[in-house]
Structure 1
């Protein structure tokens, strides 16, 4: 059998790379000779005519990945045909293998995002080191755990949360398990080092009274105030509010609604707006204009949220994402069922939403003890 790397020209201005497995000639039902071929499309693409240095570099990296996959396929064939140990596997770069596993999960949007986020920290840990499977040992695995615990930072330069460390390390271990199953390592290093414990999720939110105080308090940036309150009233994430444009806002006879694609899940969403939520958007502009122009993510705006809360007499540690939690809790407290809240928030699984139901149950329990104790004689 011949195994070769091929490319196919696409209308997008790129080549699609695939592996051609040529298995010789066969005779069809009509007695005619024809080629017996199978194809494996790699989901790797090349610029047909790269113009910029970055496009040329991307082409070089793509070709390298494709050729490494080709080497794997040829080695796998030789291993099966001759019954020999494939010694080329431990020469493959770990990051190349991880990237391949990540791309296989592309259709699973949420899981893909977690693999992609974990890859950033794995690359940071492996930078300036061409780690192959031959280099992987228990010390390497333990080192990445220490990296997440001590060195790794978020985009805001803060240490990773317990659940982020838990998630990223689990993706790292999943890649190691796959590597062992595929014959790239002689040991399952995913079992050699204990992972992180999953942290109890803390979801800070505002009560209706606190939200009212915040609505009347002064905020230095009006666009930040409007966007935050809009999130409280709709449950939209910061990423979706930030990219929201006027083409996604539909003002109709029966009211206003949003039709947009969630940035995190890539799912199409339809969101009805109350009158007060619509009023926070202001006057309509042209379709491609951002609704909340001037809204930025960064330490300055995050700090202003805390200062705004202090002016309103709120001492909780509130972030922009707390607005989403606030929306969920207020819906449940005012009679919305868990299924509806799950749909409003765009959750794929209802168990994600059930965390908010626990918060509401806790509030009900606290309410049972709000009435001062009566002095009475209990007679039966």
Structure 2
């Protein structure tokens, strides 16, 4: 569908002087549309010329005065120029018409070029804006239902960008491949957050730099950048690290070691048996644990991936949940966030004699955990690789008999 043209018409008009028998020449433009306003304006421009001998068109009445007399419009020639008797007045009217033609051309050109010019103006305005402020503003906009860890990572990156720029803004117009490479180098030596000492690990730097690139790619989509600079700069490679896991012997030690927080101990072994993340265990309600023909199943939406999961659990895992409550009641009531349970969890693990850094996050990778323990498990249970996962869960169920 074609966009309707804004037909601004420019006309030369006369206005009678109050004190003398003369008329001021002025130019009227209407309708004039200004950006951001839907109401048209009437623009009046004086040309600093007066005439005294206009010729009136007796067939065109412009107004009827209160005394009943008529006022007529000025007579114009075929080109629309006001006609006058004196030569001086004729020259003034021709001058006024030239000004009118100039203004008309300006308005006509503005109609044709306004879209492109306005876009260029808007693009220049966007290029002056601060990338850091934009980045912080899109965190919740782009991740309205994301997990706390994702929000935390994006928020941390916003703070690191401010550290990199020493508190100064980073205008979009200054962003280039070189600047992005500088940010990459900064991330590799950036300080850790909170009260932690030292610099970021390479994997953390890789994660944070990928978030910077994601923010720049979003800025490209939102037309703050005319080039997708993020696509031109390579990310920081990950370093393969060994994940800490529990052996069967260590799981037995923990099961027999007292824990000052009974809910924490039950939730920990529930994670061991199911591999469900801590954030999802915290949110788990009794309504999400349903009975099936052969046992129990957890029907829940993963907070991190937003994927609906249907996970069968055995009787031992169900018994760890405690006494069944109302449908909307949390299963592990009193289980606080990871930052609050880290201290009692560490104390419990140390009391068991385990020297590893074990967290709930280690347990969320339990499927890899099973594979890492295949030799030990085969020795104890004589299972095949195909039965590995099921047998390992059954073994832990017997091992971790927690009242």
Q: Please, which runs of 5 or more residues in structure 2 have no aligned partner?
A: 6-112, 375-382, 394-403
CA 1:285–1:335: 2 relative to 1, 3 Å:
farther
1:133 aligns with 2:172: yes
Secondary structure of 1:150's aligned partner: coil
Name the TM-score, length of structure 1 as normaliser: 0.56
Q: CA deviation at 1:230?
A: 0.4
Whether the 8 Å CA contact 1:102–1:115 is kept in 2: the answer is no
1:328–1:231 CA distance, 2 compared to 1 (3 A): farther
SS of structure 1 residue aligned to 2:312: strand
Quote the Cα distance in structure 1 between the aligned partners of 2:186 and 2:334. 38
The answer for the alignment partner of 2:355 in structure 1 is 315
Which position in structure 1 is the counterpart of 2:301?
261
Cα deviations by residue, 1:143-178 (Å, 9 ceiling, x for unpaired): 575256322427989965432320220231344467
* CA deviation profile, 1:289-321 (whole Å, cap 9, x unmatched): 111111122455223323322332322111111
Query: How do 1:340-355 residues align onto structure 2 when only pairs under 5 Å count?
Result: none
Retained in 1: the 8 A contact 2:370–2:389? Answer: no
Q: Are 1:164 and 2:204 counterparts?
A: yes
Offset at residue 183 of structure 1 (A): 7.2
Counterpart for residue 173 of structure 1: 213
In 2 relative to 1, CA 219–125 (structure 1 residues): closer, same or farther, beyond 3 Å?
Answer: same
CA distance in 1, matches of 2:119, 2:283: 56
Q: In structure 2, the residue corresponding to 1:149 is in which secondary structure?
A: coil
Task: Tell me the CA shift for residue 284 of structure 1.
Answer: 0.3
Alignment CA distance shift 1:159-1:311 (3 Å): same
Q: In structure 2, do the counterparts of structure 1 residues 188 and 330 end up closer, same or farther at CA, with 3 Å as the change threshold?
A: closer
Matching residue within 123, 127, 132 for 1:90: 127
SS in 1 for 2:3: strand
Q: What secondary structure, in the 3-state scheme, does the structure 2 residue paired with 1:271 have?
A: strand
Shift, 1:281, TM fit: 0.4
**1:231 equivalenced with 2:288 (yes/no):** no
In 2: Cα distance, 1:207 partner to 1:77 partner: 70
Is 1:243 the counterpart of 2:278 in the alignment? Answer: no
Comparing 256-265 and 309-318, the one that deviates more? 309-318
Question: Cα deviation per residue 1:16-58 (whole Å; 9 max; x = unaligned)?
Answer: xxxxxx8349xxxxxxxxxxxxxxxxxxxxxxxxxxxxxxxxx
Q: Which whole-Å deviations, capped at 9, do the CAs of 1:63-88 have from their partners, x for residues lacking one?
A: xxxxxxxxxxxxx9834899999533
For 2:332, what is the secondary structure of its paired residue?
Answer: coil
Partner Cα distance (2:195, 2:298) in 1:
29
Q: 2:326 aligns with which of 278, 286, 297?
A: 286
Q: In structure 2, how many angstroms separate the alpha carbons of the residues matched to 1:287 and 1:155?
A: 40
For 1:251-301, what per-residue CA distance to the aligned partner results, in whole angstroms no more than 9, with x for missing partners? Answer: 345211111111011111111111110110011011121111111224552
Paired residues in the alignment total: 270
Q: Could you tell me how far apart the structure 2 residues matched to 1:236 and 1:220 are?
A: 22
Which residue of 2 is the match for residue 68 of structure 1?
none
Task: Give the superposition deviation at 1:204.
Answer: 1.0
Contact 2:187–2:200 (CA under 8 A) maintained in structure 1: no
CA RMSD of aligned residues (A): 4.4
**Counterparts of 1:288 and 1:158 in 2: how far apart (Å)?**
43
Query: Taking structure 2 as the reference length, what is the TM-score of the superposition?
Result: 0.54
Superposed counterparts of 1:20-39, under 5 Å:
23-24=3-4
Please tell me whether residue 122 in structure 1 is matched to residue 152 in structure 2. no
Cα 1:326–1:126 shift into 2, 3 Å = closer
Q: Secondary structure at the match of 1:272?
A: strand
Instruction: Give the distance between the partners of 1:77 and 1:116, measured in 2 at CA.
Output: 41
1:245 and 1:287 in contact (8 A); partners too: yes
User: 1:78 — aligned with what?
Assistant: 115
